[in-house]
Structure 1
């Protein structure tokens, strides 16, 4: 199975358009209640991706609340009005992300016995750290973690046809929305860190590693539990396929993380953030700006969305 990034249609864009330009808050609410436990593995294109991203999402809402605390605390120390506006936008976006994923996690818990325990572990961890971390740690960890949510956004959208094309329209729409917005605000926490602690590059890079280790720990705990419930470890072939998927996808993430360790790095200049590689992200933003309904995305809807590229 190849996990290379798949080519997407090249959008027609203006010379100054960028996927991180403009960060609107979109108060969307996705109807996950209709999903039955049997539909939790929601992508027929790649069941392993369903499990992978479901597992990743278990602890994400609590990080998003941590981010809100981080940006709210840091904002009083930021004087740049453009960055302050972006900080307000990212907290608004993440608040709506957290609300939707907490609802989805309740559905996951109906199928996976350990999800409630993992959810509670994440809640306790991030609630405690939000109260006890100093400003440097709050901003540094947030910047490190956002490195990977931004990269995940780009990688998942680039692999849309392989991972999401044939899947439940509501959950697909939920993840497309989330990934587009993670790309939109992918530079904000980085810029806040640079504004406050820009001379301490070593700490920014250290926090990338700390965030990576935390993500991997939480992801693998949920992923292998879910694979076990789905019966993947009763078949050597399925077990190998599931293990290969998580290893290859994590490897992609680490590979694309390497540019972030450069002193000259900025998320807007990451190779994956060039507009030529973001047809879905750009088209989705244009589509919703024109009033398009993005709460469910089937094949026909995605074709209409892409027509806006």
Structure 2
């Protein structure tokens, strides 16, 4: 397999004005608790997770000589910084609804503190490439498949499309830095196994917490319909398995899955109205 980041790909942070609903609907995804909290649980992870991604890439920025990649790193940092700030607002809305977001965030912060203290910068960067791949394949699916957000509150759907667009634009930045400063396929695979376990665990625990607060944790219909939405015959996650496994190939590169047409399509939605900012 071959693949490289498209030459001249511009990675530019945007500042769209979302104006999240106040108060945010508890079940903003078409009145469905499971679908809403699946996305909500991921949102809880983003502020601290994206600061970790920024730090892991920034650590190696001075070792990069390629002027195009240096500019893309700048865009990556700017985009991830804006994602973090927007999801802080999102998570504050969840707090206002009575969910214990502080409890959920503490577990992630403890683990990230351990990672920063005891794991090498190369492994931290490998972990960033892994989670960036997870978010990139979900972002791709969200942008190409309207079922992901069918029936959702329009403002919330727009926020997730914006996040998916920018995750797609910068999906190879951490990977390209990693290839220049380390490049070990073994370390990258190890990081993906670990990241998959923790990302799945954290998302599941967030989902469980919110369903418990709603009094729906033991409602079998909620779980039946939710798991069917994720993993059923037409489930939204089933088509991602092949793309996920490609990360383990020695010759993997994120842009082997060329979805630049989606970038161009959704840029038209956001670039006409969004402000921009530097990093």
* Normalised-by-shorter TM-score class: 0.7 to 0.9
Deviation at 1:249, TM superposition (A): 4.7
Mapping of residues 113-128 of structure 1, within 5 Å: 113-128=99-114
- TM-score, normalized by length of structure 2? 0.86
Note closer, same or farther for the CA distance 1:20–1:255 as it changes in structure 2 (3 Å cut): farther
In the other structure, the counterpart of 1:256 is: 243
- CA apart distance, 1:251: 4.5
- Structure 1 residue 73 and structure 2 residue 59: aligned? yes
Q: How does 1:133-152 map to 2 (within 5 A)?
A: 133-152=119-138
Structure 1 position 265, deviation (Å): 1.4
- Mapped to 2, the partners of 1:120 and 1:31 lie a distance apart of 27
CA deviation vs aligned residue, 1:99-123 (integer Å, no higher than 9, x gap): 0101111111233433220022223
Between 176-185 and 243-252, report the one with greater CA deviation.
243-252
Question: Compared with structure 1, are the counterparts of its residues 28 and 292 closer, same or farther at alpha carbon in structure 2 (3 Å cutoff)?
Answer: closer
What is the CA–CA distance in structure 2 between the aligned matches of 1:117 and 1:154, rounded to whole Å?
30
In structure 2, the residue matched to 1:186 is 171
Aligned in 2, Cα 1:180/1:136: closer, same or farther, shift over 3 Å?
Answer: same
Any stretches of 5+ residues in structure 2 without a counterpart? none
Aligned to 1:43, which of 29, 37, 41?
Answer: 29
1:283-302 to structure 2, matched below 5 A, reads 283-289=265-271, 291-292=272-273
- The answer to whether the 8 Å contact 2:126/2:191 transfers is yes
Matched length:
268
Alignment of 1:239 with 2:227, yes or no, is no
- Gap change, CA 1:112 and 1:181, over 3 Å in 2: same
How does the TM-score come out when normalised to structure 1?
0.78
1:55 aligns with 2:55: no
Q: Note the C-alpha offset of 1:40.
A: 2.8
SS in structure 1 of the partner of residue 132 of structure 2: helix
Structure 2: how far apart are the matches of 1:288 and 1:112? 32
What is the aligned partner in structure 2 of residue 4 from structure 1?
A: none
List runs of 5+ in structure 1 lacking aligned partners: 1-16, 295-309
Aligned partner of residue 223 in structure 1, secondary structure: helix
- 1:121-170 C-alpha deviation (Å, 9 max, x unpaired): 2233334534554221221111111110111100112222x232432222
Answer yes or no: is the 8 Å Cα contact 1:78–1:195 preserved in 2: yes
1:232 match: secondary structure: coil
